[in-house]
Structure 1
Amino acid sequence: MFLPVFFFLSILISPTLANTLSDFCVADLSLPNGPSGYPCKDPKRVTADDFVSSALAVPGGNTRNIYKSTINDINNEQFPGLNGMGISMLRGDLEAGGVSPLHTHRVSELLVIEEGTIFAGFIDTNNTAYYKTLNKRDMMIIPPTLLHFFINVGSTPALTYSFFPSDNHGVQIDGFALFGGNLPSKLLNNITLLDHAEVQRLKKLFGGTN
């Protein structure tokens, strides 16, 4: 099967545990998360279930939204066994015409097309765009922190998997970052060069305030 190969490769290239005296550090979700992950669960309470997840088999939600897409983001919060392992992943489901809009992650991303036809690309810091149409079993590497996007250009739903060298890769979607928060409209007028009416329309669309 195709997917296990990428799990194996990702584990091989992922960073080792910060505490090399431990074989693992299953996340104790009852304690606060920090920059280096969750504190370790008492090894006496660890079971095989902590290292097993079926989350990739499940879509992230309903695709009836403005982007006609959804993601199931699987990190150390959803899969405690990932804690400290330096690996996480997500599942993307896109209807025909669906979009994963401009967004960024803290780390690099390996995109794998499992079903469908995806037009994918990223923009580097010289404002050069790199993009390509990808088909089933194609892959694309996205460098860390760069803006990137995916579009389902096929006539059927698409399924993608992404793998990251971090147990919590983080994501920031441009539209929600700008118009889904509390940035004042006047400030957005200035930094986006959009007029007041358009800023208000986008704030309403993304659920922003001010």
Structure 2
Amino acid sequence: MELCEMGTLRTWIDERPEHDTQRSSDALGILQQVVEGVKYMHSKNLIHRDLKPVNILFGGEGRVKIGDFGLVTSAECDSDEGLLERTKRTGTRIYMSPEQMNQRKYDKEVDVFALGLIYFELLWNMTTKNEKAKIWNDVRRNTFPPQFYVKHSVEHKLIERMLSEEPRNRPDASMIAAELAKYSTNLGKCQHTLQEMKTI
């Protein structure tokens, strides 16, 4: 296995300065790589079930890697036993989707819910555990800090869909990847325009 010496996404989030102007574009690049990994897993009919920043690592040249496959399960079960096996609140509670916590059946959409929470954390700096405790449950219910809507007027719409209470209303990994690619293109155009304005 590759030794990932560049740390975890948890460290990246915790150490990123609050007013870092690069944060949004860096977050986008990181999430795109994570989503590609999830997209591949889902194409193989696998559910990770424990996506969270500490399980996302930076490998060589800063490439993003998804780790800790100990809770991965098949998305296709041939028997009731298989369904029961993956319905025991397996994973990390604060990143679990509502159905992963409360229902006897769930599918790949649980990973999308966790990705929505990770994207929020990538964009929004919560400096203390106390601050996170205050807003985390609201975010899980699709209520964001007022300034988040202002600062991330585009991204919050995608995150809202990813955090839909109803699993069928969440976009799949392929749809998320396509939307992030659009953001990336638009961000690139904006940065190019800003550079041109600076040289005038």
Q: TM-score, normalised by structure 1?
A: 0.25
TM-score by length of structure 2 reads: 0.26
Relative contact order: is structure 1 or structure 2 higher (C-alpha 8 Å, sep ≥ 6)?
A: 2
Name whichever structure is richer in helix by fraction. Answer: 2
| Structure (1 or 2) with the greater strand fraction | 1
